[in-house]
C-alpha cells in the first residue's frame, strides 16, 4: 500500500470527503484514480457526516477532559466536514522511511547509507535497531501509530479512536519539536528552503505525462538517494504540520 499524508479534520477524514494528491492529479487530467483500501474500510461502511461529526466531537470532549492538566490552555481543534480546508501529499513509504533512517543515523552520530533500495524496510536496518536500543524517551515518528492530534503539548497516549480502534496517538506539537530537532542536526534550513525540497528533491522520474502523448514511461529506478528522499519527505511533513497548526487539524499517515 502507498503512503499519503493528510492534514485536516478527523470528521472530513472519516467521511472520506477528501482526495489524495494522486486523485487530484487524475481529476485535473481527466483520468480516474481508484483507491484500494484494506478490507473492512469500504465506502459503504461510512456513516453520515452528521453522525461522524457528532461522534468525533463527543470523543474530542472526552479526550480533552481525560488529558486534563497535561494540556495547557484551550486547544485550537477544528472539527467539520467541509469548512476547514485540508492538505495532502504523497511521500510514499520509501521517502518516509528514508527520513527515519536519516534521523536514526544522525542521532547516533553516524552517516546514513548513500542510497536505499526500493521497498526497503527501515525497521530491519542495524541503524534503526541501534537507535531504538539507545534512545531515551518516546519519539512519535517511531513510537506512535502515526496519528497526531491538534494539541501543542508534546504528548503520547494510547486510547480508542471514535471508531473504537485503539491506537497510540501523539500531538502535532510533539511532531513539530521532532522535525525541528532533525532540521537542527545539520540542515538548519529555512522554511523557504524546506518547502522547496518538495519539488527539488525526491524520486527520479519513471514517467511523464503530456496532453499530446499521454503517459510516457522512462527508465525505471530501483535505488534512490537517501538524503534526497529524506528531504522530500521532511518537506511534506513540515508543510502538513504548519498547515495543521494554522487550521487546528490532525496529521495522519494514510495507507
pLDDT, tens digit, for every residue of 140-189?
999 999 999 999 999 999 999 999 999 999 999 999 999 999 999 999 99
pLDDT at 201 exceeding the cut of 70: yes
Nine-digit cell string for 199: 519539488
For 91-100, what is the mean pLDDT?
98
pLDDT at 242 exceeding the cut of 80: yes
Q: Which residues, other chains included, contact 86 with Cβ-Cβ below 8 Å and sequence gap of 6+? A: 6, 7, 8, 9, 12, 18, 249
Bridge partner residues of 216 (DSSP): 208
**DSSP type of residue 218:** -
Helix/strand number for the chain, H first, E second: 9, 10
Residue with cell 456513516: 47
Percent above pLDDT 70 for the chain: 85
| pLDDT score for 205 | 72
| pLDDT score for 220 | 78
pLDDT, tens digit, for every residue of 17-44?
999 877 776 566 565 656 555 545 555 5
**DSSP type of residue 46:** P
Residue with cell 482526495: 19
Question: What is this structure's pTM?
Answer: 0.88
For 52-75, what is the mean pLDDT?
96
Q: Where are the domains of the chain?
A: 4-254
CA separation for the pair 94, 50 (Å, rounded): 37
| pLDDT score for 214 | 59
CA separation for the pair 60, 65 (Å, rounded): 9
Percent above pLDDT 90 for the chain: 81
| pLDDT score for 20 | 86
Q: Residue 138: which pLDDT band, with cuts at 50, 70 and 90? A: very high
pLDDT, tens digit, for every residue of 215-224?
565 577 799 9
For 4-23, what is the mean pLDDT?
93
Amino acid at each position: 500500500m502507498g503512503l499519503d499524508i493528510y492534514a485536516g479534520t478527523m470528521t472530513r477524514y472519516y467521511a472520506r470527503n477528501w482526495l489524495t494528491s494522486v486523485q487530484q492529479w487524475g481529476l485535473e487530467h481527466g483520468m480516474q484514480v481508484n483507491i484500494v483500501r484494506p478490507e473492512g474500510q469500504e465506502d459503504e461502511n461510512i456513516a453520515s457526516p452528521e453522525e461522524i461529526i457528532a461522534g468525533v466531537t463527543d470523543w474530542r470532549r472526552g479526550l480533552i477532559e481525560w488529558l486534563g492538566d497535561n494540556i495547557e490552555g484551550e486547544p485550537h481543534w477544528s472539527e467539520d466536514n467541509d469548512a476547514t480546508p485540508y492538505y495532502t501529499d504523497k511521500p510514499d513509504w520509501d521517502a518516509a522511511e528514508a527520513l527515519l533512517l536519516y534521523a536514526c543515523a544522525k542521532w547516533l552520530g553516524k552517516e546514513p547509507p548513500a542510497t536505499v533500495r526500493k521497498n526497503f524496510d527501515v525497521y530491519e536496518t542495524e541503524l534503526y535497531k541501534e537507535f531504538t536500543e539507545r534512545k531515551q524517551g518516546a519519539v512519535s515518528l517511531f513510537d506512535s501509530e502515526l496519528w497526531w492530534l491538534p494539541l501543542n503539548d508534546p504528548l503520547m497516549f494510547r486510547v480508542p479512536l471514535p471508531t473504537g480502534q485503539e491506537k497510540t496517538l501523539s500531538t502535532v506539537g510533539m511532531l513539530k519539536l521532532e522535525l525541528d530537532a532533525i532540521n537542527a542536526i545539520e540542515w538548519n534550513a529555512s522554511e523557504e528552503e524546506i518547502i522547496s525540497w518538495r519539488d527539488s528533491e525526491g524520486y527520479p522520474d519513471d514517467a511523464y505525462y503530456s496532453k499530446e502523448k499521454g503517459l510516457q514511461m522512462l527508465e525505471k529506478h530501483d535505488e534512490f538517494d537517501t538524503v534526497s528522499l529524506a528531504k522530500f519527505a521532511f518537506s511534506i511533513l513540515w508543510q502538513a504540520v504548519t498547515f495543521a497548526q494554522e487550521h487546528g487539524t490532525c496529521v495522519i499517515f494514510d495507507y
